[in-house]
């Protein structure tokens, strides 16, 4: 079966793509939805002078606003309706998944199948609205306190502006959440990940121009710029290599006799990726760290000790970096445990007569899977920390654009690979259907 699939994948051509009507419709729907998202990042919030925020973004590295701007696709710099981006939905998803592992009621909903997943998705939407409500109010208050060389950021501060700003930002986030869900259901790829990736890709040309400008003005030496670009290319190559890497566990099925014929006896393998969690841990870790960092960036008053604590979580600070690394490792283990259940996999193998050579079926197989998965996740977690932290250190020390950070590169490469894999799967399914139809026609003749 594996060799047949590989042979079909090798035979895929533009002709096959031209005949895959459903796939083309999904791709066009995805592109249209992303274009709508990009247009929304240029619709400004009423009553705000965007030049004040643009002036603050001119600081080296962009501060916390630089990271917010990267995840929102430039909407923070322009102070638009999508300034919150999709991150409140990501934060809500984290909380719901953590509660699912801790609250028996939510865990039971998860096991109910499609109906249970719909209820959990509904809870995630409600929580997204609540998180967006609090964050948008903080942004409204923070905008009122901002002043630049051109004057205040808010032309007419007051409760009316706060109300209109909250309604606008919450509505923008909920609309983005809906677009992401529509892309996942009717398009190609994961909608939320594609929204984040499209924002990062849209900012890459400007980030490259900014990097070259730093070299032209003498802020960075040309040798350093070339070395950094080489490091970015090497990071991309490392990401592709590790994301493709697998640990293949051999699985054997015994022969069974039905009448005068023998069935089974196949030997296959179970692929376990080194990084089973994918790009989720860095996104989750960044989403959580944006909460205290946002409070530190927008809070102008309050006790000094609170300001000091929040300042430790500013981008580039040692506490921020250590916490970021620990959160990545935690979410790597946590999300892997959600995606792959050793006990359930071992039970399914035993149910269908499969077994790992040299390992007893049942609990021994589950323990074997768990041991291998723990080792793979350890390597995968350290790989994610290395990829995300090394460029971040250069960004904090030399004021480079956030778009060249390890997190952004990992998101772009991983989401691109996943999307291409889904496209290939649709093409394979279309080619299988074509072969089946041809065989039926020949059989009728």
- pLDDT for the residue 440: 59
- pLDDT for the residue 143: 81
Q: Which helix (H) or strand (E) holds 250?
A: strand 246-252
Are residues 66 and 57 in contact, defined by beta-carbon separation less than 8 angstroms? yes
Q: Does pLDDT of 57 surpass 70?
A: no
Of the given ranges (56-65, 164-173, 218-227, 430-439), which has the lowest mean pLDDT? Answer: 56-65
Task: Tell how strand 267-273 and strand 246-252 pair up.
Answer: antiparallel
Q: What gap in Å lies between CA 386 and CA 313, rounded to an integer?
A: 20
- B/e letters for 57-74, b = 16+ CB within 10 Å, e = fewer, are beeebbbbbbbbbbbbbb
- Would you state the torsion angle of the CA atoms of residues 176, 182, 188, 189, taken in this order, to the nearest 10 degrees? 50
DSSP string covering 379-426, please?
HHHHHHHHHHHHHHHHHHHH---GGGSHHHHHHHHHHHHHHHHHHHHH
User: The dihedral of CA 88, 196, 287, 312: what is its sign?
Assistant: negative
Q: Quick one: average pLDDT of 89-105?
A: 82
Residues 22-35: tens digit of each pLDDT:
888 889 999 999 99
Q: Does pLDDT of 17 surpass 80?
A: no
- pLDDT for the residue 375: 92
- pLDDT for the residue 171: 93
Please, how many CA atoms are within 13 Å of residue 68, restricted to the half-sphere of its CB? Answer: 29
pTM of the model: 0.78
Q: Does pLDDT of 294 surpass 80?
A: no
- pLDDT for the residue 265: 61
- pLDDT for the residue 61: 43
Residues 77-96: tens digit of each pLDDT:
888 899 888 888 988 888 88
Of the given ranges (203-217, 246-260, 269-283), which has the lowest mean pLDDT? Answer: 246-260
Q: Is pLDDT larger for residue 391 or for residue 121?
A: 121
Please, how many CA atoms are within 13 Å of residue 196, restricted to the half-sphere of its CB? Answer: 29
Q: Quick one: average pLDDT of 5-19?
A: 53
Q: Does pLDDT of 60 surpass 50?
A: no
Residues 212-265: tens digit of each pLDDT:
887 788 777 888 888 888 888 888 888 889 888 888 888 887 766 565 665 556
pLDDT bin (cut points 50, 70, 90) of residue 7 is very low
Residues 177-193: tens digit of each pLDDT:
999 999 998 988 888 88
Query: Residues near 61 by Cβ (< 8 Å), separated by ≥ 6?
Result: 315, 316, 395, 396, 399, 400, 401, 402
Q: Does pLDDT of 139 surpass 70?
A: yes
Structural domains in the chain, sorted by start: 15-187 (1.10.3370.10), 205-426 (1.10.3370.10)
Of the given ranges (9-18, 118-127, 129-138, 341-350), which has the lowest mean pLDDT? Answer: 9-18
Are residues 21 and 433 in contact, defined by beta-carbon separation less than 8 angstroms? no
């Amino acid at each position: 079966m594996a060799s047949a699939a590989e042979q079909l994948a090798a035979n895929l051509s533009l002709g096959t793509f031209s005949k895959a009507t459903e796939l083309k419709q999904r791709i066009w729907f995805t592109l249209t939805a992303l274009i709508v998202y990009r247009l929304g990042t240029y619709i400004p919030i009423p009553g705000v002078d965007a030049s004040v925020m643009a002036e603050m973004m001119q600081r080296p590295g962009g501060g916390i606003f630089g990271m917010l701007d990267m995840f929102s696709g430039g909407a923070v710099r322009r102070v638009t309706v999508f300034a919150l981006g999709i991150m409140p939905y990501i934060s809500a998803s984290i909380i719901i998944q953590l509660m699912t592992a801790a609250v028996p009621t939510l865990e039971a909903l998860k096991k109910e199948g499609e109906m249970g997943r719909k209820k959990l998705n509904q809870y995630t939407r409600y929580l997204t609205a609540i998180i967006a409500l609090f964050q948008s109010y903080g942004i409204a208050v923070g905008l009122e306190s901002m002043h630049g060389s051109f004057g205040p950021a808010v032309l007419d501060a007051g409760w009316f502006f706060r109300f209109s700003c909250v309604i606008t930002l919450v509505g923008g986030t909920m609309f983005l959440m809906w677009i992401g869900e529509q892309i996942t259901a009717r398009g190609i790829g994961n909608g939320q990940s594609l929204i984040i990736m499209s924002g990062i890709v849209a900012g890459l040309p400007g980030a490259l121009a900014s990097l070259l400008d730093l070299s032209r003005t003498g802020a960075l030496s040309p040798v350093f710029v070339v070395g950094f670009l080489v490091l970015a290319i090497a990071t991309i190559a490392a990401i592709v290599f590790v994301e493709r890497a697998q640990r293949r566990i051999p699985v054997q099925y015994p022969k069974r006799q039905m009448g005068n014929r023998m069935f089974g006896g196949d030997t296959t393998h179970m692929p376990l990726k080194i990084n089973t969690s994918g790009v989720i841990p860095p996104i989750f870790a960044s989403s959580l760290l944006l909460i205290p960092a946002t409070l530190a960036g927008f809070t102008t008053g309050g006790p000094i000790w609170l300001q000091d604590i929040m300042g430790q979580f500013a981008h580039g600070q040692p506490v921020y970096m250590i916490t970021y690394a620990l959160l990545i490792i935690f979410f790597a283990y946590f999300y892997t445990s959600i995606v792959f259940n050793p006990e359930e996999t071992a039970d399914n193998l035993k149910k269908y007569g499969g077994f790992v050579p040299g390992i007893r079926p049942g609990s021994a197989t589950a323990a074997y899977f768990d041991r291998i998965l723990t080792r793979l996740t350890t390597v995968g977690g350290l790989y994610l920390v290395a990829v995300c932290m090394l460029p971040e250190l250069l960004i904090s020390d030399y004021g480079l654009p956030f778009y060249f950070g390890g997190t952004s590169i990992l998101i772009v490469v991983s989401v691109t690979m996943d999307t291409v894999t889904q496209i290939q799967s649709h093409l394979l399914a279309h080619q299988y259907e074509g072969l089946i139809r041809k065989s039926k026609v020949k059989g009728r003749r």
